[in-house]
Amino acid sequence: NEVNLKGRIIGGCLDSLLDIVGTRFDSVKGFNERYKQEGQIWYFDIADLSIEDTIRGLWQLKNAGWFDNAKGFIFGRINRMTNHLKIPFPEGIRRVLESLNVPIIINADICHTNPKLAVINGALTDITSKGGQGVINFHLS
């Protein structure tokens, strides 16, 4: 299916972001409030988390209010992931995020795995994706 998203992009390495949720370094609620009219496009890459850790981590962020204004999600490619429960990555992600009723793009050219597109946190972003191909435009205003 074709996906068209527009909003403020925010995210990073899920492994690291889980360490700041709920701490004094967690300023996501302020970011969400400031840009609530535009909404957020969340992007994540996963370095060493298992599928079970990823599911729990996304659940934690969702329940901490990080995704309150989410317009969509983008996940970078994963080279390796421990998966004790044998849950396919897309299914695990959908289990946590489907209640938000927003598009989810998986296996994007972002983050740890080459080729890597740099993502500009906080930029107003337009994303179009269809048939495994996509375009991301960042607007620095």
pLDDT tens-place string over residues 59-87:
999 999 999 999 999 998 876 667 777 78
User: Residue 32: phi, psi to the nearest 5?
Assistant: -60, -40
Instruction: For the chain, give the percent of residues with pLDDT over 70.
Output: 97
> What residues pair up with 45 in beta bridges, in sequence order?
13
Q: Which residues touch 101 (CB under 8 Å, ≥6 apart)? A: none
Residue 127 is predicted with a pLDDT of 96
**If you ran DSSP here, which 8-state letter would residue 117 be given?**
B
pLDDT bin (cut points 50, 70, 90) of residue 103 is very high
pLDDT per position as a tens digit, 22-32: 999 999 999 99
Q: Compute the distance between CA of residue 85 and CA of residue 53 in angstroms, rounded to an integer.
A: 11
Q: What percent helix, strand, coil does the chain show, rounded to 5?
A: 25, 30, 45
User: Residue 31: phi, psi to the nearest 5?
Assistant: -60, -45
Residue 81 is predicted with a pLDDT of 66
| 3-state DSSP assignment of residue 122 | coil
